[in-house]
């Protein structure tokens, strides 16, 4: 394999990570299916390391707002502390379960393409139903989400530990079912992503420290850069897209990918 071919797979996976991480379509599910069906595989450490690119994409786009939140928290502004607590409450359930079940999740579940495809399909149907369901939007400002809503979102986020469910998809569904507007639900997922993804990155990096060497440094750099650039574009324009079109396009994408994957698995005899 020459150098150009050697960098093609990391580039594709980096683009896929940046494109799907913040959309309610499951980045992990797409990366695992890309490996299963198309052989676009890299070591698990690669997937762990390029996630940092997606994390930095949020920090870059929301740098000014994050700076204001930190400043207001340090000067004792109540809303900033209340918002920080809401984000923490929304993260705790998934962090606890993710740590306890990490080996099972990255073993049995990650290695089951049927589980991923069914999760994509079922999750797409649920997302489509919730998106079209008539409901009263009680909460439109993420800074004033009540703590009980943050806890509910956190409980829904636990479902995203199943590959194919989607972290952003589960939080969006939980938020919208209990009164959040579409735009605010999508925006809240960005802030919840920061501690969740940073924690997952740090923990997986520690657990995989003995497997990391310089042999994949260039591949990681390419995937990292692609995930950062594409992730920043997605974060920049997603809220306006959701405000105009809702989540139905993502739901149909999930249904199409999940359904096609199930058919392919049966045709391959690996169902």
- For residue 2, pLDDT beyond 70: no
- Does 1 score more than 60 pLDDT? no
Query: Under a CB-based contact definition with an 8 Å cutoff, are residues 23 and 251 in contact?
Result: no
What is residue 47's predicted lDDT score, i.e. its pLDDT? 76
- Over 70: is that where the pLDDT of 5 sits? no
HSE-CB at 1 with a 13 A cutoff on CA atoms is 6
**How many Å separate Cα 245 from the centre of its chain?**
20
Residue 40 backbone class (left: φ over 0; alpha: ψ -120 to 50; beta: rest): beta
Q: What is the pLDDT of residues 118-158, one digit of tens each?
A: 999 999 999 999 999 987 889 999 999 999 999 999 999 99
Least confident of 29-33, 110-114, 145-149, 199-203: 199-203
φ, ψ dihedrals at 138, nearest 5°: -85, -30
Specify the pLDDT at position 22: 92
Q: 139 pairs with which residues across the strands?
A: 180
CA distances from 165 to 60, 118, 207, 216 (A): 26, 9, 24, 29
Q: How far apart are CA 19 and CA 24, in angstroms?
A: 10
Per-residue pLDDT reduced to its tens digit, 195-226: 988 887 788 777 767 766 666 778 888 999 99
Q: What is the pLDDT of residues 242-264, one digit of tens each?
A: 999 999 999 999 999 999 999 99
At 68-100, the pLDDT tens digits run 999 999 999 999 999 999 999 999 999 999 889
Distances (CA, A) of 242 to 8, 170, 250: 31, 16, 10
Is pTM beyond 0.85 here? yes
């Amino acid at each position: 394999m020459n150098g150009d071919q050697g960098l093609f797979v990391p580039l594709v996976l980096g683009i896929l990570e940046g494109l799907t991480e913040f959309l309610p379509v499951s980045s992990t599910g797409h990366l695992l299916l890309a490996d299963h069906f198309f052989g676009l595989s890299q070591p698990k450490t690669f997937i762990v390391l390029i996630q940092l690119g997606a994390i930095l994409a949020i920090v870059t786009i929301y740098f000014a707002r994050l700076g204001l939140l930190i400043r207001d928290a340090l000067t004792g502004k109540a809303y900033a502390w209340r918002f920080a607590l809401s984000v923490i409450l929304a993260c705790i359930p998934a962090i606890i379960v993710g740590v306890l079940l990490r080996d099972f999740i990255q073993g049995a579940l990650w290695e089951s393409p049927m589980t991923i495809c069914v999760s994509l399909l079922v999750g797409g149907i649920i997302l489509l139903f919730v998106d079209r369901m008539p409901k009263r939007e009680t909460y439109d400002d993420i800074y004033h989400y009540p703590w009980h809503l943050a806890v509910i979102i956190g409980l829904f986020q636990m479902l995203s530990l199943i590959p194919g469910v989607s972290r952003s998809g589960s939080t969006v569904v939980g938020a919208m079912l209990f009164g959040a507007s579409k735009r605010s639900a999508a925006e809240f997922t960005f802030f919840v992503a920061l501690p969740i993804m940073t924690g997952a990155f740090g923990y997986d990096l520690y657990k995989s420290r003995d497997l990391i060497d310089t042999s994949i440094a260039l591949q990681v750099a390419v995937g990292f850069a692609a995930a950062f650039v594409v992730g920043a574009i997605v974060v920049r324009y997603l809220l306006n897209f959701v405000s105009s079109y809702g989540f139905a396009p993502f739901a149909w994408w999930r249904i199409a990918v999940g359904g096609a994957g199930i058919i392919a698995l049966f045709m391959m005899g690996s169902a």
